[in-house]
Amino acid sequence: MQITITGKQLHLGDNMQSYAEKNLDAIVDKYFDTAVNGSVIFSKDGDAIKAEVSVHPATGALLKGTAKGADAYVAFDQACERIARQLRKYKNRLAEHKNEKFEMVDLSVIDNEEEKDDVPVGDAPVIIAEMQTELPVCSVSGAVMHMDLADLPALMFRNSTHGGLNMVYRRADGNIGWIDPKNKG
């Protein structure tokens, strides 16, 4: 697995880099034979050190763990504990959901002249278009699993029960919301 280790406004010694690479590789190898890649970013956060660890254990999956500690080793170890829990959950869920499929869907934003006139220029948020993304074909519980493992606020998916587009999202109260539009033909 290819691992990138960086420090933002922070110098990392060779010992810390080798420690992070060795331990992250060992954690990922425990659950997956061949992982795509991983990254570790250390940064200052006030008096603490923040460690952000992200791992791609398989194509289409991104697991993230973040922790703060008094030093880089403590922060890294805590972030890796979170990654290990997510990897264990992900591996168990993959065993349960082997029949899931993915399809490519174009989610590009199309400029519409009528919409441009309605939005005040100074207050308009920036729209970032994702050109193509993989939509999982799965059950609602499978979509919630994908959303949790990728640490996303929302996930659109194709429901394996009826084939329609659905969406799950994390509500402000911490619960999961599910949108299942009724298509009238």
**Per residue in 30-49, pLDDT tens?**
887 777 788 999 999 889 99
Averaged confidence pLDDT in the chain: 80
Closest CA to 49 of 33, 14, 73, 25: 73
Model confidence pLDDT, tens digit, residues 86-107 = 888 877 777 665 555 555 555 5
Tokens 């990138």 sit on residue: 4
Per residue in 45-66, pLDDT (tens digit) is 889 999 999 888 765 677 889 9
CATH architecture of 101-179: 2-Layer Sandwich (3.30)
In DSSP notation, 5-42 reads: EEEESSPPPHHHHHHHHHHHHHHHHHH-SS--EEEEEE
pLDDT for 23: 92
For CATH 3.30.505.50, the residue range(s) in the chain are 101-179
For the question of whether the overall pTM of this predicted structure is more than 0.95, the answer is no
What's the pLDDT tens digit per position in 108-154? Answer: 444 444 444 454 555 667 666 666 777 889 889 888 888 888 778 89
Burial of 182 per CB tally in 10 Å (0-12, 13-18, 19+): exposed
The CATH number of 2-96 is 3.30.160.100
pLDDT of 104 = 55
